[in-house]
Amino acid sequence: MNKKLLFSILALVLTIADMDAQRHELGVRVGHSNLVGDIGRTNYILQMPFRDVSTFGLPVYGGLLYRMNFNPHQTLRFDLGYNHVQFADAAAKEEYRYNRKMWGTNDLYEASAIFEYNFFPVNNEQQRGMISPYIFAGVGAMMHDVTQATMSHDFRRDVNGVAQAPVNELDFNSTIEYDSGKKVTGYVPFGVGLKYKFNYNWAISAEVMFRPTISEQLDYSMLKEKDLKSTFNADILSPNTNTSLLQTGYYYAVAQERERDFLYRRKVGDPNSKDWINSVTLAVTYSFGRPPCYCD
């Protein structure tokens, strides 16, 4: 049993070593990205950019890619990319979205590992030129902007700014201050493409990539409980706990109720519907490394 395990490990190491010696590709990818979520348009690809570039920017994708070609058909690809997406209810076809008039932009940084399958042997070393459609799927992670907020609970104050003890549990103020933060979400990239190889070492690839994520916050349509912080003014302390009076008893219960109500009102659309980031891109790559073992 131990000998079988040893031979298996050795075979795996030799396979990885051989994979490292295979032909490689390095290149750049550019194109167009759009978001499909609870705000803005719902068509999955090629959403038209907004004319107001100063407000919305351009819906672009740019990135680097590396391919490790196992054989003429199969490839493992690693992508690093940047997306700028824009969304606005004013451009939506649905009447309820159009009347809502919400909008925004987001910057997304992503990394992914993708398996490609080419239908024709486009990666063959001895092919000067060839064209092949391909399909792909993988896993990835994406860092994006999110909305965060702080709810400040404070005493009412007199004309001199001195805190006044509340008359009852509703007699204090709660105000909201917005901020921005970063989060990381996972996604599953998949799609189709067309790869054209020319002059032995060069290739151009055009593809459509769909990326369903596990987040519903890419369009800021939801504020989660952990994105909301609370502060309590301590000008008047509770004699029993030595903390703010507003953090005790009925005052604290009212403060929590206001926070729950705020989070509920901040929800837009279906909280169970996850956001998608989709792209149409063009890549140029250059092949290098010693000829693979699959050469004729």
3-state SS string for 27-55: EEEEEEEEEECCCCCCCCCCCCCCCCHHH
State the pLDDT at residue 241. 83
If we measure between CA atoms, which residue out of 191, 211, 203 comes closest to residue 65?
203
Q: Cα–Cα–Cα angle for 244, 249, 153, nearest 5°?
A: 45
If we measure between CA atoms, which residue out of 20, 23, 137, 21 comes closest to residue 72?
23
Write out the H or E segment, with its range, that includes residue 10. Answer: helix 2-20
d(CA 271, CA 214): 11
Give the burial class of 90: count Cβ atoms within 10 A of its Cβ; 0-12 exposed, 13-18 middle, 19 or more buried: middle
| CB count in 10 Å sphere of residue 49 | 14
| CB count in 10 Å sphere of residue 215 | 20
State the pLDDT at residue 128. 77
Give the 3-state secondary structure of residue 70: coil
State the pLDDT at residue 2. 54
d(CA 57, CA 76): 33
State the pLDDT at residue 294. 47
Q: How big, in percent rounded to 5, are the helix, strand and coil portions of the chain?
A: 20, 45, 35
Q: What is the residue type of 243?
A: T
Q: 222 with 268: CB under 8 angstroms?
A: yes
Global pTM reads 0.84
Which stretches in the chain have pLDDT values below 50? 1, 9-22, 292, 294-296
Going along the chain from its start, the domains and CATH numbers come out as 23-147+179-223+271-288 (2.40.160.20)
Contacts of 250 (CB under 8 A, 6+ apart): 169
Give the burial class of 145: count Cβ atoms within 10 A of its Cβ; 0-12 exposed, 13-18 middle, 19 or more buried: middle
State the pLDDT at residue 7. 53
| CB count in 10 Å sphere of residue 168 | 9
Give the pLDDT confidence of 41-89 residue by residue, as tens digits: 989 998 999 989 999 999 999 999 999 998 889 999 999 999 999 999 9
